[in-house]
């Protein structure tokens, strides 16, 4: 019993992220800033060029495989009703304040309630800039870039903030997959195609891997810390506190995550309506299809090798829509419009925000 209490006390110390003394003193303000993350240098190099080449190759291969009639696709796109398209744009950008509220909750959970953080608008701007970074360079650099920007603009620990980003990713993918499996069960009438099953299994495996890493960090974090070089130990300790501590308000974080993903699905629904396309005569089944495809497009941004899943997402969305018996021209048209919002608009507006932002 005494040993168990000692373990609980140790864990409590590692997760005592709400202590007022630490918040007031803000010792992380003196933590050395991480090396500068330059988007220009990361973008203008051969690895980034190669990643875009891979993306283009995937898109060309998909167009060939699906026997897309470019002329027919252009005629479908001409039917676009701009009010619905602009509404889809607004719904999509409504996800950023929701994500900002969620991130602030997680930052508060790791001890940053009393220090001066950017407001919801400022956090949303930082998140948006990190998505812009993900659209330009491969390997999800935007996640590190987000922690870097917050460290640059607030007296926080880069390591601890990076931990909150990891914690957010775990919750995001867990909620996303749960919603996808539920929606897919209705959309496919319980019979997933082999490609969809493979993608879902890979997604579940990825989440299981992250959860396993968290459990190892939770159970053996102190042992891991002892074997690390002396100079790395403080950073690992803060990273561990940030990751594990970000789950202190898990129900709130999970609800906000679900809300953000529903907005993503709402974007796709409005895109289909802008083209006058109905996926199913049954409204309930169509809703399940919309949720599955909308969230699937987000899942397809995870594979490495291309910026924001460019190529993978386009091919995957089109393939799933065709599996729903949609004509190829209509499937590609939905994909083009949807990705023009979730990728193209982020590149365009992100470049503008990046040029004028005082937080970068």
- 270-298 pLDDT, tens per residue? 999 999 999 989 989 999 999 999 998 88
193 close to 323: Cβ distance less than 8 angstroms: yes
Does pLDDT of 343 surpass 60? Answer: yes
Give the model confidence (pLDDT) of 140-189 as tens digits: 788 999 999 999 999 899 999 999 999 999 999 999 999 998 998 888 87
Mean of the per-residue pLDDT values for the chain? 86
In the numeric block, the tokens 């009010």 are attached to 83
Confidence of residue 31 (pLDDT cuts 50, 70, 90): low
pLDDT for 30: 52
d(CA 129, CA 146): 7
What is 282-306 written as a DSSP string? SHHHHHHHHHHHHHHHHHTT-STTS
Does pLDDT of 11 surpass 70? Answer: no
Binning the chain into helix, strand and coil, the percentages to the nearest 5 are: 75, 0, 25
d(CA 144, CA 150): 10
Give the model confidence (pLDDT) of 39-64 as tens digits: 888 888 888 899 999 999 999 998 88
Give the model confidence (pLDDT) of 198-238 as tens digits: 778 887 888 888 888 888 888 887 888 888 888 888 888 99
pTM for the model stands at 0.88
pLDDT for 268: 96
Show me where the domains of the chain are located: 37-356
């Amino acid at each position: 019993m005494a040993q168990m209490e000692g373990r609980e006390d140790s864990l409590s110390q590692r997760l005592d992220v709400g202590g007022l003394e630490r918040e007031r003193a803000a010792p992380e303000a003196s933590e050395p800033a991480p090396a500068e993350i330059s988007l220009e240098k990361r973008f203008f190099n051969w690895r980034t060029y190669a990643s875009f080449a891979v993306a283009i190759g995937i898109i060309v291969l998909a167009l060939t495989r699906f026997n897309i009639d470019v002329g027919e696709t252009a005629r479908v796109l001409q039917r676009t009703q701009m009010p619905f398209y602009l509404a889809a744009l607004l719904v999509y950008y409504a996800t950023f304040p929701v994500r900002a509220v969620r991130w602030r909750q997680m930052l508060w959970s790791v001890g940053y309630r009393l220090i001066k953080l950017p407001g919801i608008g400022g956090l949303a701007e930082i998140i948006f800039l990190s998505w812009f970074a993900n659209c330009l360079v491969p390997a999800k650099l935007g996640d590190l870039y987000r922690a870097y920007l917050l460290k640059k603009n607030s007296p926080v620990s880069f390591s601890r903030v990076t931990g909150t980003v990891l914690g957010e990713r775990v919750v995001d993918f867990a909620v996303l997959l749960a919603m996808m499996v539920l929606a897919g069960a209705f959309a496919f009438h319980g019979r997933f195609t082999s490609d969809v099953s493979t993608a879902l299994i890979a997604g579940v495996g990825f989440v299981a891997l992250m959860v396993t890493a968290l459990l190892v960090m939770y159970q053996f974090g102190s042992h891991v810390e002892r074997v690390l070089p002396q100079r790395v130990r403080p950073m690992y300790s803060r990273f561990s506190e940030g990751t594990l501590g970000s789950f202190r308000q898990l129900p709130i974080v999970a609800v906000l995550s679900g809300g953000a993903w529903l907005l993503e699905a709402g974007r796709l629904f409005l895109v289909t309506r802008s083209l006058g396309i109905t996926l199913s005569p049954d409204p309930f089944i169509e809703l399940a299809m919309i949720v599955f495809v909308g969230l699937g497009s987000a899942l397809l941004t995870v594979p490495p090798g291309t910026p924001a899943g460019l190529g993978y997402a386009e091919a995957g969305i089109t393939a799933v829509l065709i599996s729903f018996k949609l004509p190829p021209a209509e499937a590609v048209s939905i994909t083009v419009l949807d990705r023009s919002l979730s990728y193209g608009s982020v590149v365009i507006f992100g470049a503008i925000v990046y040029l004028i932002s005082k937080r970068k």
